[in-house]
Structure 1
């Protein structure tokens, strides 16, 4: 569990606001340092064969102006791709959508000393106010925390042999509990009343652990 806490503590989490084409959005931002080169992290995030190892298989016309599909997950268009530092895509679930359902994910990478890389991911979404009231930033944030953990394992060549079984076991649940609480703190820092943020964190935990 100590190593897992190190992974949790490695991530800075914040909630903010930004206008996107869909409208005024709320953002979740995750940033952390990876002990891997800029080129290695970029390739891990943009090469289909490597994305499949830590996220999920991806298909599509993977170029600016093209589209992508993550298996069993989101799809969208590639808005910007400036190798090896910037990637921005639209992020959509389902097919029967409205303009307000189109969120944006931006990945920024920057080189750090000793050959490391600063990884920053922002997910901006207009969203459903009732959904935000129930789950807060953890709905998206915990999911991205799990993805960043998977990327960390991939870059280091470590991690469980069966990530799905790990996620369903006690250690996976503890990861969700801990990261939900980190998003509760970010929610409060954004201005949410502590009791509202705690209820949202509890709902998020229940959702990800299958207890809701």
Structure 2
């Protein structure tokens, strides 16, 4: 097993942006995370859609895991599976346990040659949630996707234990807050670029 890379060492590997999105409930916004993975697209797709593999780098998941079915992450979101098109597109409803609005999360994969993949993770919502307060009082949910994306990369590298994450992951609140504040700076810059592009479009 390879040595695990620290989460703060992967900050520069993630491309971040905000975009406008039209959702069934109306106009919304989406946070998009893009990262290159050193694994074939079929391997990445399998990691993102196989329960026993998802459990290695994220959370336990159950349900009828097919297009038209439903899913539920333990202690996290649940919803319907809207699109499941191997090996390049997965779109699901995303209903967090603490909100009434149904968001959408989409994963888009594209091969970068035979041994690498570009992954785009898009989280869209009609709720006004994609705003980061650099004081640390309010974090965009986009920040919450960075750890699972980091651990997906580590899983694909073979750097994680081949066991459910609940058996090896230890939550460290102080470290999570430190990482969130580092990522908040990156997302605040993405939010500023988004606001500037909207202002330019309206000018």
Pairing 1:184–2:185 present: no
Shift of 1:156: 1.1
- Give CA deviations for 1:13-54 in whole Å, capped at 9, x if unaligned: 001111010211110000000001111110110000000111
Aligned to 1:84: 87
Aligned pairs for 1:5-84 within 5 A: 5-84=8-87
Query: For 1:1-212, what aligned pairs fall within 5 Å after superposition?
Result: 4-94=7-97, 97=100, 101-113=101-113, 115-127=115-127, 129=128, 135=133, 138-159=139-160, 162-165=168-171, 167-168=172-173, 170=175, 172-191=176-195
Q: Kindly indicate whether the alpha-carbon contact (under 8 Å) linking 1:22 and 1:103 is maintained by their aligned counterparts in 2.
A: no
Q: TM-score, normalised by structure 2?
A: 0.81
Shift in CA distance, 134/31, structure 1 to aligned 2, threshold 3 Å: closer
* SS at 1:113 equivalent: coil
Aligned length: 185
Q: CA RMSD in A?
A: 2.6
TM-score by length of 1: 0.78
Residue-by-residue CA offset, 1:131-180 (whole Å, 9 max, x unaligned): 55675994211101111011111111225884333x4354x444222211
* Number of the residue aligned with 1:199: none
**8 Å Cα contact 1:89-1:106 kept in structure 2:** yes
Distance of aligned partners of 1:53 and 1:80 in 2 relative to their CA distance in 1, 3 Å threshold: same
| Runs of at least 5 residues in structure 1 that lack an aligned partner in the other structure | 193-212
Tell me, what secondary structure is at the counterpart of 2:141? helix
Compare the two structures and name the one with the higher helix fraction. Answer: 1
Q: Any stretches of 5+ residues in structure 2 without a counterpart?
A: 162-166, 197-203
